[in-house]
């Protein structure tokens, strides 16, 4: 047992990989889980109970699109009934007044709505379907029913120039919080990296736009800006540390220390169908592999920032070096930084998207 581990606070429940959208920046794995492999209602009910017993306080119902699950109302009731704060992470497609009213009655506390761009034509092109108007309607519903609303926008080369318009749109939606996250390259997004990576000029222009908006909207709408880490000198403190605060359950019951971790082929992940969640969190080789500092090598081992960024992102280290224990190559102290620089220097392929697949 890993006695250094604290209990998890959050559970990301990826109820399904089914989704009506096909965004090329999707962080779902390229090998999507088919519907007949998804956990059933009773299995999710058991997962939520075990998670609560472990200490989980926040349940994020995500996907794919969680609204494609017919048992979503029951799952909301279960998680809320356990005393958890229940957040719905959705594209908004399929969210009707009737469905949302029912979910609110059952204890849904918060909606996180994805938006692709400011202008309908670009937003629909990125989504792969006519989704934009549904999102405006979904935002109106959330506000009318009095729920807090977060708007999430993945930023990339194709929509960066609409940043001011995106902020204005979130204002019109009366969002409480706007997360502007530059694409992180996992899953489908990794396939699309040459098309999605923003330019240095776009990022420089964005800084002032975000700073001015955050100042102007202080107290009305919180703006969170997630940097494009390839351009940074230090890596992000991914997940606040591996296996430190949150766990993800994939649609087929695979338990992951982070949503993208299934791509790390050198780790074996347990499944909640076979192993109790507490054993997975405290004892499984996958969750304990990179917890704390013991696994670190140089330059992280003796670096003063190791308690700030935890050596960066394990998924990124694996994707770029084949070794999940390597220093995140984003770090300028990493011997692999040249791999990131090579990606920055590689020719871009603007607009040439591999759209996310369907299951
Ligand atoms: Fe972070 Fe490791 Fe780089 Fe230090 S050497 S800044 S701990 S990634
Ligand atoms: Fe998996 Fe960073 S995305 S550890």
pLDDT at 3: 55
Query: Is 311 within the bounds of a domain?
Result: yes
Q: Order across the sheet with 149-155: list the strands.
A: 222-226, 177-182, 149-155, 108-115, 85-90, 58-62, 10-14, 246-249, 255-256
CATH number of domain containing 266: 3.20.20.70
Binding residue ranges for [4Fe-4S] cluster: 19, 23, 26
Confidence band for 226, pLDDT divided at 50, 70 and 90 = very high
Per-residue pLDDT reduced to its tens digit, 289-305: 999 999 999 999 999 99
Region 96-119 average pLDDT: 98
Contacts of 147 (CB under 8 A, 6+ apart): 100, 104, 108, 109, 110, 111
Share of the chain above pLDDT 70, in %: 99
Residue bearing the CA closest to ligand 1, atom 2:
300
Confidence band for 101, pLDDT divided at 50, 70 and 90 = very high
Per-residue pLDDT reduced to its tens digit, 311-326: 999 999 999 999 999 9
Longest Cα pair distance anywhere in the chain, in angstroms? Answer: 56
Residue 316, ligand 1, Cβ within 6 A: no
Contacts of 177 (CB under 8 A, 6+ apart): 148, 149, 150, 151, 221, 222, 223, 224
Share of the chain above pLDDT 90, in %: 98
Contacts of 17 (CB under 8 A, 6+ apart): 28, 32, 33, 63, 64, 251, 359
Give 2's Cβ-side CA count (13 Å radius).
24
Q: What's the CA-to-centroid distance between 241 and ligand 1, angstroms?
A: 13
pLDDT at 126: 98
Region 152-158 average pLDDT: 98
Residue 115's closest CA among 88, 138, 83, 95?
138
Q: Which atom of ligand 1 is nearest to the CA of 328?
A: 8
Query: Is 123 within the bounds of a domain?
Result: yes
Give SS3 for 319. Answer: helix
Q: Which atom of ligand 2 is nearest to the CA of 316?
A: 2
Per-residue pLDDT reduced to its tens digit, 232-252: 999 999 999 999 999 999 999
Contacts of 70 (CB under 8 A, 6+ apart): none
Q: How far apart are alpha carbons 90 and 151 in whole angstroms?
A: 10
Q: Please determine, for residue 84, whether its predicted confidence score (pLDDT) is greater than 90.
A: yes
Q: Please determine, for residue 2, whether its predicted confidence score (pLDDT) is greater than 80.
A: no
Q: Which atom of ligand 1 is nearest to the CA of 296?
A: 2
Mutate to test the pocket of ligand 1, among 242, 312, 315, 329 (most ligand atoms within 8 A of CB): 312
Q: Please determine, for residue 4, whether its predicted confidence score (pLDDT) is greater than 90.
A: no
Number of domains in the chain: 1
Q: Please determine, for residue 229, whether its predicted confidence score (pLDDT) is greater than 60.
A: yes
Per-residue pLDDT reduced to its tens digit, 7-49: 999 999 999 999 999 999 999 999 999 999 999 999 999 999 9
Residue bearing the CA closest to ligand 1, atom 8:
311
Q: Please determine, for residue 1, whether its predicted confidence score (pLDDT) is greater than 70.
A: no
Query: Is 342 within the bounds of a domain?
Result: yes
Q: What's the CA-to-centroid distance between 207 and ligand 2, angstroms?
A: 24
Residue 258, ligand 2, Cβ within 6 A: yes
Confidence check on the interface: ipTM exceeds 0.85, yes or no = yes
Q: What's the CA-to-centroid distance between 47 and ligand 2, angstroms?
A: 22
Residue 329's closest CA among 315, 317, 344?
317
Query: Is 1 within the bounds of a domain?
Result: no
What totals of helices (H) and strands (E) does the chain contain, helices first? Answer: 14, 9
Per-residue pLDDT reduced to its tens digit, 250-289: 999 999 999 999 999 999 999 999 999 999 999 999 999 9
Give SS3 for 316. Answer: helix
pLDDT at 223: 98
Query: Is 2 within the bounds of a domain?
Result: no
Confidence band for 178, pLDDT divided at 50, 70 and 90 = very high
Query: Is 3 within the bounds of a domain?
Result: no
Residue bearing the CA closest to ligand 2, atom 2:
313
Q: How many residues does the chain have?
A: 359
pLDDT at 64: 95
Task: Give the structural domain span for 36.
Answer: 8-358
- Across the chain, mean pLDDT equals 97
Contacts of 65 (CB under 8 A, 6+ apart): 16, 18, 19, 20, 21, 90, 91, 93, 94
Q: How far apart are alpha carbons 45 and 50 in whole angstroms?
A: 9
């Amino acid at each position: 047992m890993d006695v250094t581990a604290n209990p998890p606070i959050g559970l990301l429940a990826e109820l399904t990989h089914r989704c009506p959208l096909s965004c090329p920046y999707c962080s779902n794995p390229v090998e999507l889980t088919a519907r007949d492999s998804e956990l059933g209602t009773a299995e999710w009910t058991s997962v939520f109970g075990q998670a609560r017993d472990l200490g989980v306080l926040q349940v994020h119902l995500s996907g794919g699109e969680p609204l494609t699950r017919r048992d979503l109302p029951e799952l909301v009731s279960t998680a809320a009934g356990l005393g958890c704060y229940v957040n719905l992470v959705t594209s908004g497609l399929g969210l009707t007044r009737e469905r949302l009213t029912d979910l609110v009655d059952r204890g849904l506390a918060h909606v996180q709505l994805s938006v692709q761009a400011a202008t309908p034509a670009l937003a629909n092109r990125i989504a792969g379907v006519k989704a934009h108007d549904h999102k405006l309607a979904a935002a109106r519903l959330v506000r009318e029913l009095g729920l807090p609303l977060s708007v999430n926008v993945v930023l990339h080369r194709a929509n960066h120039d609409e940043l001011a318009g995106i902020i204005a749109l979130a204002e019109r939606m009366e969002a409480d919080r706007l997360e502007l996250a530059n694409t992180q390259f996992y899953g489908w997004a990794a396939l699309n990296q040459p098309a999605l990576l923003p330019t240095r000029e776009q990022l420089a222009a964005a800084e002032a736009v975000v700073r001015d908006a955050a100042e102007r909207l202080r107290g009305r709408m919180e703006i969170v800006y997630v940097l494009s880490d390839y351009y940074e000198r230090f890596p992000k403190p991914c997940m606040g540390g591996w296996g430190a605060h949150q766990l993800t359950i994939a649609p087929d019951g695979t338990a992951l220390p982070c949503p993208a971790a299934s791509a790390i082929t050198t780790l074996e992940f347990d499944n909640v169908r076979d192993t109790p969640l507490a054993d997975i969190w405290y004892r499984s080789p996958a969750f304990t592999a990179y917890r704390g500092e013991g696994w670190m090598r140089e330059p992280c081992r003796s670096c003063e920032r190791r308690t700030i960024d935890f050596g960066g992102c394990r998924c990124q280290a694996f994707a770029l070096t084949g070794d999940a224990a390597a220093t995140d190559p984003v770090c300028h102290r990493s011997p692999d930084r040249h791999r990131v620089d090579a990606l920055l220097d590689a020719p871009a392929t603007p607009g040439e998207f591999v759209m996310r697949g369907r299951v």
